[in-house]
C-alpha cells in the first residue's frame, strides 16, 4: 500500500461518524440460495405486481439503445411539460429526480444550514430523518397520534425559530393514515407560510377515499407547500428510479439550485412519459388488484387473530406475537419477503405489499405456518 | 461529551522515558478526579507493559500512550506498531513455562492485569493496543426500596440522575447479592448513562416512583440489555418499556439485542432463546439476509442443527487445513472481568500452536482465580475454524450461536467445570 491511511477521525465529520449506512437487500439469486427457496415473492417494497403500464412498456421497447451514449435531458424537459398539462401547473413548477428519495435530499440541502431542524413523525418513511441527520441537521420526531396518524398539534408545538421544513407523508408509510383536506388546510393555515411543508404523496394514486386531499390542487393556495410524487409505486418504474416534486415556481427555483443535473436517465424519462398516457386505465386495474388483496387478506388475518392496519395504499401492517425479524427469516424460508418493522419503530409488526391474489393466498398460508401453536 | 478528556503522548521505548509514561498516567487519571490509588494502579500496569516492550522492541519503535476518561472509568491504551513485536508476545501466558509457578508470578502482563479491572488487547490497522481500564470507586447501594402498589398512570421519563439512582436501588432490593453489576452502585449507574455508554428507559408515576426500567449498552453492532424490571403491580409496564427501548434502538444501525439472565417479567413474543435453558434471549434489529460461516467439520453438525432451529440463513463452509503452511503462532485476547471471576477469550491470530496456547491460557487463568472461561469463536473468520478441535480437546463445550456477534456469528463455548 502506498501512502498512509487517512486520519478518518479528523477527516470524517462527527455527524457522519455516528451514522450507519443503509443496507439494501441482496439480489434474488443470492437470497434463494441462502434461504433455500425456489422463488422469492417480494412483498417488502410496495411495488406494483402488475408491472409498468402497457404504454410505459411500449415506450421502453421503442427506445433506441444507441441513445445510451448521449446525456439525458438534464431537466427532464418533455416529462415536465407533460406533468404541467396533467396537473394544470407550469413546467417550471416541477423538478424531476432520481426517485422521490433524491428530491428529499434536494429540499433539505436547499433550506437547511447548521443549527436548523426539520420536523416529521417518529413512525414514518425513514428517509426524511436520515437525510437530515447525515447532513448534520436535527430531525425532530413527533410521535404518531392514537389513530396512527400524524399529530398536527404536536408537530406545530415542535416548531422553533430554526425549523425549516415539516415532512408529512400522505398516506403515511407504513400506517396508511392521512389527514382530510380540511385538517390539512387547517394545519397549513396555522403554519401560515413560515416554514416549508412537504407533502409526500408517494402512494396517493392508490387512494380512493373521497376526503383524501390532492396536494397538487393546494399548491395554488399555499406557496410554502411542496408535493412529492413517484413513478416507483403505482407506475411500477421503481427499477428506473424516477420521481418528482411540484411547488410554486419561486420555491422550485430555490430547490433547483441544489439539484444534480443528469441524475435522471433517458430511459426513465421515456417510460414515465409513456405511463402518463394510459395512467387512468393502469390506475384502475391496479386499484382493483389492491382492493381484492385487501379484501382477501383482512378476513384471513382476522381468522388468525392478527391485528392489522391497512389504509388506502398498497400495503398492510400486521402485528405478530413474535419478533418481526424472526418472522422475516421464517417467511423467507417459504419464499415470502416482507418488511420487518422494528426499524420503523413498530416492533413485532411486518408490512406487506398488497398484490396479486395467488401470492396473497401464499402469504396467508405462510403466516399460518409460522404462528406458534 | 464533557467527560471525555483525552490525553495523548508519543515517545520512544527507552528506559529513561519510563517516568514520563507513568507520570503522565498518574497525573491524567488524578486530573479526571479519580483517586490516587486508582491512578497508581494504572501507572503500574503501564510500567509493566513498557518494560516488557522496551526489552523486546527494535530501536526506533515508539509508544503511543493515551488516557481517556469516560465518566465512570479511566482507560489507558498503549499502542505500538504491529510488526515491532511477535504477536504471541501478548498472550497473557507468554513466558509462563507450564509447570513453573514462579514464572507465572513473574509474568509482567498478568501482573499488570491484576492491578486493573479490565485488560483487553486489540489489533487495529497497523497497530496493536493494550487497553487497561480502571473504574472509579463508588459507594454501593445503602437503601432498600420494596416494590409498591401503583396508584396512578406511568409515563416515559428521561433517565436523569435521581431516577437512575432509584432504579439501581430498586433492582438491588430485588436481587440482593445477585444484583447485575451495573446496578450495584447507584452513582456509577448515573455516570454510565451520563457518559453515553449506557442508555435507559424508565417508566415513572406522578410521584416520581420508578415503576419499571430497562438498561442497555452497545458494543459494535450488538446491544445488551438488563431488564425490563417491573417494581409495581403493573405487568404491562414491561412491554411498554421494552417497546420504548426498541424504538430508541431502531435506526441506529445495530444488528441485534441480547438479554442475559432475563427477568421473570420479560414479556413473551419479543425474543428468541439462543440456548435451551432460556438464559440468553436474542432479537435481531435488522433483517438477516444471510452470511457465510466458516466451520470445522468437527462442529458442523452442531452448527447446522442450531442454524436450522433458529432459521438462520447460513452457508456453511467447512474450513479444513489441507497440509498448507499456516501461521506458526497463535495470539489470544483476554477480556477479564476480575470481580465476576469471568474471562472472555477471543482469537487475534490462529496458528499451529493454538491447542497448546489455549491450554496454557486455561491453566494460567484458573490459577489466577478465574472460574468462568468463555471462548468466543468468530465464524466469520475462516482462520478461526481451526480452533474448534483445540477447544473440544481442551474440554470446552459449544453452548450457543450468537448471530452477528462478531464479524460473522459468534460461537460461544464454555469450559466444563473440572471434576
Ligand atoms: C413515502 C415514500 N416516499 C418516497 C419514497 C421513495 O420513492 P422513490 O422510489 O421514488 O425514491 C418511498 C419509497 O418507498 C416512500 O415509501
At A32-62, the pLDDT tens digits run 999 989 999 999 999 999 999 999 999 999 9
Q: How far apart are CA B27 and CA B21, in angstroms?
A: 10
Distance between CA atoms of A40 and A44, rounded to whole angstroms? Answer: 11
> For residue A227, is pLDDT > 90?
yes
Strands B372-378 and B342-349: parallel
What confidence tier does B94 reach under pLDDT thresholds 50, 70, 90?
A: low
Last residue of a domain, one of A259, A277, A295: A277
Same domain, A263 and A348: no
CATH of the domain at A270: 3.40.640.10
A130 chain-B contacts, CB cut-off 8 A: 251
On whether both A32 and A64 belong to a single domain, the answer is no
- Whether A227 lines ligand 1, by a CB cut-off of 6 Å, is no
Q: What is the pLDDT of residues A132-169, one digit of tens each?
A: 999 999 999 999 999 999 999 999 999 999 999 999 99
Do you find a cis peptide bond into B228, omega within 30 degrees of 0? yes
Q: What is the mean pLDDT of residues A191-213?
A: 97
- Closest C-alpha to ligand 1, atom 12: A202
Q: Is the pLDDT of residue B105 over 90?
A: no
Regarding the beta carbon of A125 and ligand 1, being less than 6 Å apart is answered yes
CA distance B75 to B42: 9
**Chain B residues in contact with A26 (beta carbon < 8 A):** 289-290
For residue B84, the model assigns a pLDDT of 57
- What does the pLDDT read at residue B364? 82
Q: Residue B349's beta-bridge partner residues?
A: B331
Using CB atoms and an 8 Å cut-off, which of residues 268-327 of chain A contact chain B? 320-323, 325-326
Q: Give the count of domains, chain A.
A: 2
Domains of chain B: 5-135 (3.30.565.10), 155-284 (3.40.630.30), 291-415 (3.40.630)
Most confident of A92-96, B132-136, B177-181: A92-96
d(CA A168, CA A121): 8
Residue ranges with strand state E in B53-95: 62-69, 73-81
- Confidence band for B221, pLDDT divided at 50, 70 and 90: confident
DSSP B308-335: HHTT--EEEEE----S----S--EEEEE
- In angstroms, the separation between the Cα of residue B255 and the nearest Cα of chain A is 10
d(CA B138, CA B135): 9
Average pLDDT of every residue of chain A: 95
> What are B136's three cell numbers?
472509579
Per DSSP, A14 falls in state H
Query: Across residues A94-119, what is the average pLDDT?
Result: 97
> Is the omega angle on the peptide bond into residue B271 within 30 degrees of 0, that is, cis?
no
Preceding peptide of B162 cis, ω within 30° = no
Best mean pLDDT range from A313-317, B112-116, B332-336: A313-317
* Same domain assignment for residues A197 and A147: yes
pTM of the model: 0.90
Residue of A nearest to B254 (CA): A20
Cβ proximity of A257 and A251 under 8 Å: no
* Cell (9 digits) for B228: 425490563
Check residue B57 and give its pLDDT: 72
Helix (H, G, I), strand (E, B) or coil at A303: helix
- How do residues B312-343 score in pLDDT, each as one tens digit? 999 999 877 777 777 777 878 777 776 678 88
The residue among B100 and B197 whose pLDDT is bigger is B197
What pLDDT is recorded for position B1?
43
B245-297 per-position pLDDT tens digit: 999 998 888 999 999 999 999 999 999 999 988 899 999 999 999 999 999 99
Instruction: Answer yes or no: is the ipTM higher than 0.95.
Output: no
Which pLDDT score, from 0 to 100, does residue A6 have? 73
- pLDDT single digits (tens) B344-360: 999 877 888 888 889 88
Pair (A128, A76) in one structural domain? yes
Q: Show the cell assigned to A364.
A: 396467508
| Interaxial angle between packed helices B36-54 and B18-31, expressed in degrees from 0 to 180 and rounded to the nearest 10 | 150
Average pLDDT taken over every residue of chain B: 87
3 state SS of B298 = helix
pLDDT grade, residue B97 (50/70/90)? very low
Instruction: Note the pLDDT of residue A99.
Output: 97
Whether the pLDDT of residue A126 is over 60: the answer is yes
Cα–Cα–Cα angle for B59, B60, B61, nearest 5°?
Answer: 95
Q: A7, A18, A329, A339: which to substitute to probe chain B, counting the most B Cβ within 10 Å? A: A329
pLDDT given for residue A115 in this prediction: 97
Contact B315 A34 (CB under 8 A): yes
Q: In the listed set A243, A260, A277, which residue is the last one of a domain according to the structure?
A: A277
Segments forming the whole domain that contains residue A169: 54-277
Among A29-38, A81-90, A98-107, A146-155, name the one with the lowest average pLDDT: A29-38
Considering the domain architecture, whether residues A220 and A284 belong to the same structural domain is answered as no
The fraction of chain A above a pLDDT of 70, given in percent, is 98
A365 and A340 in one domain? yes
Same domain for A118 and A217, yes or no, is yes
| pLDDT at residue B333, rounded to an integer | 78
A31 occurs within a structural domain:
yes
CB contacts < 8 A, A to B, total 84
Mutate to test the pocket of ligand 1, among A48, A52, A79, A100 (most ligand atoms within 8 A of CB): A100
Indicate the residue among A251, A277, A303 that finishes a domain: A277
Give the mean model confidence (pLDDT) for residues B227-234.
96
Amino acid at each position: 500500500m502506498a501512502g498512509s491511511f487517512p486520519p478518518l477521525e479528523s477527516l470524517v465529520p462527527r455527524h457522519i461518524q455516528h451514522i450507519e449506512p443503509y443496507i439494501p437487500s441482496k439480489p434474488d439469486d443470492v437470497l434463494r440460495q441462502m434461504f433455500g427457496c425456489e422463488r422469492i415473492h417480494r412483498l417488502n417494497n410496495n411495488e406494483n405486481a402488475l408491472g409498468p403500464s402497457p404504454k410505459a412498456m411500449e415506450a421502453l421497447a421503442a427506445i433506441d439503445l444507441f441513445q445510451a451514449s448521449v446525456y439525458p435531458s438534464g431537466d427532464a424537459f418533455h416529462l415536465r411539460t407533460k406533468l404541467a398539462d396533467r396537473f394544470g401547473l407550469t413546467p417550471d413548477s416541477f423538478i424531476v429526480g432520481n426517485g422521490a428519495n433524491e428530491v428529499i435530499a434536494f429540499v433539505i440541502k436547499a433550506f437547511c444550514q447548521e443549527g436548523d431542524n426539520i420536523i416529521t413523525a417518529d413512525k414514518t418513511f425513514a428517509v426524511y430523518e436520515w437525510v437530515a441527520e447525515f447532513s448534520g441537521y436535527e430531525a425532530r420526531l413527533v410521535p404518531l397520534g392514537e389513530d396512527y396518524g400524524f399529530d398536527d398539534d404536536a408537530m406545530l408545538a415542535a416548531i422553533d425559530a430554526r425549523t425549516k421544513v415539516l415532512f408529512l407523508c400522505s398516506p403515511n408509510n407504513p400506517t396508511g393514515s392521512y389527514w382530510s383536506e380540511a385538517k390539512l388546510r387547517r394545519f397549513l393555515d396555522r403554519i401560515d407560510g413560515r416554514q416549508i411543508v412537504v407533502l409526500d404523496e408517494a402512494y396517493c394514486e392508490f387512494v380512493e377515499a373521497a376526503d383524501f386531499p390532492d396536494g397538487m390542487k393546494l399548491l395554488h393556495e399555499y406557496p410554502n407547500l411542496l408535493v412529492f410524487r413517484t413513478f416507483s409505486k403505482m407506475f411500477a418504474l421503481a427499477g428506473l428510479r424516477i420521481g418528482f416534486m411540484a411547488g410554486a415556481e419561486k420555491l422550485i427555483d430555490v430547490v433547483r439550485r441544489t439539484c444534480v443535473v443528469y441524475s435522471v436517465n433517458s430511459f426513465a424519462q421515456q417510460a414515465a412519459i409513456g405511463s402518463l398516457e394510459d395512467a387512468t386505465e393502469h390506475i384502475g386495474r391496479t386499484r382493483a388488484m389492491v382492493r381484492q388483496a385487501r379484501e382477501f387478506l383482512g378476513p384471513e388475518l382476522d381468522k388468525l387473530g392478527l391485528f392489522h392496519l391497512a389504509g388506502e395504499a398498497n400495503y398492510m401492517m400486521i402485528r405478530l406475537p413474535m419478533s418481526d425479524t424472526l418472522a422475516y427469516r421464517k417467511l423467507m424460508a417459504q419464499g415470502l419477503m416482507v418488511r420487518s418493522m422494528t426499524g420503523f419503530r413498530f416492533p413485532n409488526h411486518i408490512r406487506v405489499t398488497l398484490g396479486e391474489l395467488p401470492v396473497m393466498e401464499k402469504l396467508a398460508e405462510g403466516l399460518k405456518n409460522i404462528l406458534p401453536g | 461529551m464533557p467527560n471525555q478528556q483525552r490525553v495523548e503522548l508519543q515517545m520512544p521505548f527507552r528506559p529513561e522515558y519510563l517516568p514520563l509514561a507513568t507520570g503522565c498516567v498518574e497525573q491524567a487519571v488524578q486530573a479526571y478526579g479519580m483517586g490516587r490509588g486508582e491512578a497508581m494502579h494504572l501507572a503500574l500496569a503501564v510500567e509493566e507493559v513498557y518494560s516488557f516492550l522496551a526489552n523486546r522492541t527494535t530501536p526506533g519503535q515508539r509508544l503511543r500512550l493515551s488516557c481517556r476518561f469516560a465518566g465512570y472509568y479511566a482507560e489507558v491504551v498503549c499502542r505500538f506498531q504491529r510488526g515491532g513485536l511477535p504477536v504471541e508476545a501478548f498472550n497473557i501466558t507468554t513466558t509462563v513455562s507450564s509447570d513453573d509457578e514462579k514464572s507465572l508470578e513473574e509474568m509482567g502482563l498478568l501482573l499488570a492485569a491484576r492491578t486493573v479491572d479490565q485488560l483487553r488487547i486489540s489489533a487495529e490497522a497497523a497497530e496493536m493496543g493494550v487497553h487497561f481500564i480502571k473504574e472509579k470507586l463508588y459507594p454501593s447501594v445503602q437503601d432498600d426500596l420494596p416494590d409498591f402498589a401503583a396508584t396512578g398512570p406511568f409515563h416515559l421519563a428521561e433517565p436523569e440522575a435521581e431516577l437512575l439512582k432509584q432504579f439501581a436501588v430498586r433492582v438491588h432490593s430485588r436481587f440482593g447479592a445477585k444484583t447485575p453489576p451495573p446496578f450495584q452502585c447507584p452513582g456509577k449507574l448515573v455516570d454510565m448513562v451520563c457518559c453515553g455508554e449506557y442508555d435507559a428507559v424508565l417508566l415513572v408515576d406522578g410521584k416520581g416512583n420508578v415503576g419499571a426500567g430497562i438498561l442497555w449498552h452497545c458494543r459494535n453492532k450488538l446491544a445488551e440489555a438488563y431488564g425490563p424490571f417491573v417494581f409495581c403491580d403493573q405487568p404491562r409496564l414491561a412491554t411498554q418499556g421494552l417497546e420504548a427501548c426498541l424504538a430508541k434502538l431502531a435506526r441506529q444501525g445495530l444488528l441485534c439485542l441480547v438479554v442475559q439472565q432475563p427477568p421473570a417479567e420479560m414479556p413473551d413474543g419479543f425474543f428468541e432463546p439462543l440456548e435451551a435453558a432460556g438464559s440468553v434471549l436474542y432479537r435481531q434489529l435488522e433483517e438477516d439476509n444471510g452470511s457465510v460461516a466458516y466451520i470445522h467439520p468437527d462442529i458442523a453438525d452442531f452448527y447446522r442443527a442450531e442454524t436450522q432451529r433458529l432459521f438462520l440463513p447460513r452457508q456453511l463452509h467447512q474450513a479444513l487445513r489441507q497440509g498448507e503452511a499456516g501461521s506458526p503462532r497463535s495470539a489470544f485476547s483476554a477480556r477479564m472481568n476480575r470481580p465476576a471471576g469471568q474471562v472472555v477469550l477471543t482469537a487475534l491470530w490462529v496458528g499451529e500452536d493454538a491447542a497448546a496456547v489455549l491450554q496454557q491460557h486455561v491453566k494460567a487463568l484458573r490459577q489466577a482465580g478465574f472460574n468462568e472461561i468463555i471462548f468466543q469463536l468468530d465464524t466469520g473468520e475462516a482462520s478461526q475454524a481451526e480452533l474448534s478441535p483445540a477447544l473440544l480437546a481442551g474440554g470446552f463445550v459449544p453452548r450457543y450461536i450468537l448471530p452477528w456477534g462478531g464479524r460473522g456469528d459468534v460461537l460461544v463455548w464454555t469450559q466444563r467445570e473440572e471434576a
